[in-house]
Chains A and B, each alone.
Chain A
């Protein structure tokens, strides 16, 4: 149980275009989903926290107008990178959590975005 999927696993897009990444909890309902970004040889950096049906909470320095997050249901959250630039190339990972307090975060397999 506790499987989180992400789609696509890899995407290459041209500079200026937008890319949507989906994160789904397959066998549980996630009240909270997290979006992380990881650059090579660096740790995970939390971008935003989203709760189903409410606006996402963005970390300092993350542009909410550039990284659009929609948590439309208890099993689906999407991250849209708008007007992507080469510096947005990174490994994007989502995770999902049930409830608050101690509940393990379950990670998706990640999406490798390359902007050319």
Chain B
């Protein structure tokens, strides 16, 4: 079966750095997405990785290791507005998005 695992909840302090991990087992791989979702709102796109390595975009970076079936999202200089759920999603061989359950990130002052 297809499976994506990420922690259910994480807590971090404003101004700090947090890393949200995602491991996946899917039928084929055509890329991994990270989305941010605030409560009551639709997901918004953060990043896309299809090759191994680190993609940096401002305060957010995303890393992928295809051989390990592993990705992480790194958030630097945390702000209160970063409190949200972070969803990891993998595109399988049929280009269908397989979603993780999401990691709820709580930022404390």
Contact = CB atoms under 8 A, between A and B. Distances in A.
A109 interface: yes
Interface string B89-108: 00100011101111000000
A44 B97 CA distance: 10
A101 to B, nearest CB: 6
Given A44-B87, A104-B48, A93 B97 contact: no
Contacts, number: 42
Interface in A39-85: 42-46, 49
Interface residues of B, number: 20
A109 B95 contact: no
Question: Interface extent on A, as a size class?
Answer: 20 to 34
11 contacts: A42-B101, A43-B99, A46-B96, A46-B97, A93-B43, A102-B30, A102-B91, A104-B33, A104-B45, A106-B45, A110-B40
Interface of B: 30-31, 33, 40-45, 48, 50, 87, 91, 95-97, 99-102
